[in-house]
Structure 1
């Protein structure tokens, strides 16, 4: 992975990022001057960079399938399509159809419905989940050679988003994204999806309104990139100028479960609580998938 500063004012934030990474024990970090960037990514242009050679990606769908196979092999049961109404402190799971499941302990990671399920179960109302839609584009197959690995811009420390970046996936495809726009539904994987309740819940939360007032300029920029393919691609063209609008096709979108506190703060770290025999994961931001085994160990220690 290479994080690229494209202007002089981004160099100092990049140095601070390098210092934090070193303090957290990230191995093999290397500071890159402008002329050294092309050693790692031949098509990158920038003022400076930070190379993390140990950073990698995974096919998390395959990882999840492997977990599922191990669970069932060990005698566990995976229930899909089972809507949960509430979870009691004694780890009784009440389903929407009225049936109940009794567990020794329950670990709740409800993603986009984390706040609703928690509130229905008598847990605190804060933080609330506000959905953000992340849109992606994909390089045409004949242009994927422009990117060797992972290329990121210097992140804005005021926002818990990593900016529009380039990712070469395990299958060799290269995606650009995501942006981050307020979603019109918690499951708005399609552009035209609209859910009045989801929109009302997002906009009626005081934290959402405070966040929008605080970051309105960033929001306008994100909307512009959503509306314009050229503007979207121009974000990555800052550090890979060979990429143009004609080099990309639209890719599937995702929805981020962004936790927001009442004061408008975007929660950018894990938020884990508990009551009785239930552990509640109220916020699990990226890289939660990458860190899932470490998170599991932490939860097991808490449950011991």
Structure 2
């Protein structure tokens, strides 16, 4: 997977956050593991590429879901990195939502995906570290403008 995996991150205030890998969110902008939106869920479940991905990674996917719902299992995975960690050391905190593009063949897009529309350029996948790469993303978009001649400024003269 193009994800970080179980990890520890020291925050600027000195606290340490322990993070899981990634699990499917059942709601866009769903920041809690029980967030659910029927329309979003239906969209995922009716997308054939999702089932291709799920079939390929069924075992890993189930492990991630179990790890995110079981503090004991999550703690055990953290102890592989820092054996002294105990479940009582852990307190719930916020989650992040990371969009991840999925191609029709069921493969995850693990890099930037920039697509030209008729009158636009779309950034369809911006994996971490998108924020630190924002200048380079902008340069890549600007580099595509010459290919879209109708977006070029025109010079007209008045006689």
Under a length normalisation based on structure 2, what TM-score does the superposition of the two structures give?
0.85
Once the two structures are TM-superposed, the CA of residue 282 in structure 1 deviates from its matched residue by 0.7
Work out which of the residue numbers 55, 80, 90 in structure 2 matches 1:248. 90
CA distance in 1 between counterparts of 2:20 and 2:82 reads 16
Matched, 1:202 2:35: no
Does 1:164 find its partner at 2:12? no
Q: Which structure has greater strand proportion?
A: 1
Alignment RMSD: 1.5
- TM-score normalized by structure 1? 0.46
Q: Give 5+ residue unaligned stretches, structure 1.
A: 1-158
Displacement, 1:263?
A: 1.1
Counterparts of 1:293 and 1:179 in 2: how far apart (Å)? 27
Residue 31 of structure 2: aligned partner: 189
**What is the CA–CA distance in structure 2 between the aligned matches of 1:210 and 1:276, rounded to whole Å?**
30
- Residue in structure 2 matched with residue 224 of structure 1 by the alignment: 66
For structure 2, the residue ranges without an aligned partner over 5 or more in a row are: 147-159
SS in 1 for 2:101: strand
The Cα offsets for residues 23-50 of structure 1, whole Å up to 9 and x where unpaired, read as xxxxxxxxxxxxxxxxxxxxxxxxxxxx
Q: CA deviation at 1:191?
A: 3.1
Secondary structure in 1 matching 2:104 = coil
SS across alignment from 2:4: coil
User: Secondary structure in 2 aligned to 1:281?
Assistant: strand
Q: Is the 8 A contact 2:20 2:74 kept in 1?
A: no
- Provide the C-alpha distance between the structure 2 equivalents of 1:191 and 1:239, rounded to a whole number of angstroms: 24
1:272 aligns with 2:149: no
Structure number with higher relative contact order (C-alpha < 8 Å, ≥ 6 residues apart): 1
- Are positions 1:237 and 2:47 aligned together? no
Work out the number of aligned pairs and report it.
146
Contact 2:25 2:33 survives alignment (8 Å):
no
Shift of 1:284: 0.7
- Could you tell me whether the CA contact under 8 Å between 2:112 and 2:125 is conserved in 1? yes
